[in-house]
A and B are shown apart, each in its own frame.
Chain A
Amino acid sequence: GAVVSQHPSRVICKSGTSVKIECRSLDFQATTMFWYRQFPKQSLMLMATSNEGSKATYEQGVEKDKFLINHASLTLSTLTVTSAHPEDSSFYICSAQTGGNSGNTIYFGEGSWLTVV
């Protein structure tokens, strides 16, 4: 079946630095990818919708200058947390949407734990 890969699965960075998380669709092309944030024991919060070749669409309250999203190809989207602070520590999950005969199913990556110290 379709697979979405996220890297790194865990990352620790110092406060003030930037960290990049990659999301790849391994066996299908994804014109649309989504980035979510999940706080402990809570549901997923959509941060932004990433469209290949165009600017990402951010949800209300999400700082686009802090959470930079790039969707450079049909199989890769990246989320860069700039000038990270401890409150940015969270579980970040991406998803990618298939098309065609599979009926626009959305598959999720394994998630990336970010800890800012």
Chain B
Amino acid sequence: AQSVTQLDSHVSVSEGTPVLLRCNYSSSYSPSLFWYVQHPNKGLQLLLKYTSAATLVKGINGFEAEFKKSETSFHLTKPSAHMSDAAEYFCVVKGDYKLSFGAGTTVTVRA
């Protein structure tokens, strides 16, 4: 069994300030973990993925995430938010072959 919990349903930041999106997971397998971003009325775009290599993963658009097995966490960060980062973010875990999605975190960026 596997599950994902995104700890914040909504995060609001000022442009130029750091962004932190929290994700905790549980999995019976050695999981693969992903972060996807979804802009309004669009599909999901892969930001980054962890697949048992380096625990600090760098993705597109300045995002990165750190896999912490002891904390079963995979938090997403970006040092400086941009207006275009306003979107819905999903943390996803893949155990055997199925994906489990978090409920999503809505990010708003204030000018």
Residues of A in contact with B (beta carbons under 8 Å apart): 4, 6, 32, 34, 42-44, 46, 49, 91, 93, 95, 97, 103-111, 113
Give the complex CA separation of A109 and B44 in angstroms.
7
Give the complex CA separation of A88 and B101 in angstroms.
22
Interface pick from B19-27, B68-76, B77-85, B90-98: B90-98
Interchain CB contact under 8 A, A107 and B46: yes
Instruction: Tell which of A91, A105, A106, A109 has the most Cβ of chain B within 10 Å.
Output: A106
B interface secondary structure, majority: strand
Closest to B36 in A: A108
Give the complex CA separation of A4 and B43 in angstroms.
10
Give the complex CA separation of A44 and B43 in angstroms.
11
Partner of B32, one of A4, A44, A95, A104: A104
Q: A34 and B43 in contact (CB under 8 A), knowing A103-B49, A104-B32, A106-B94?
A: no
The interface residues of chain A lying within 8 Å CB-to-CB of B35 are none
Give the complex CA separation of A105 and B102 in angstroms.
17
Q: A49 and B97 in contact (CB under 8 A), knowing A44-B90, A103-B51?
A: yes
Give the complex CA separation of A106 and B92 in angstroms.
10
Give the complex CA separation of A43 and B90 in angstroms.
8
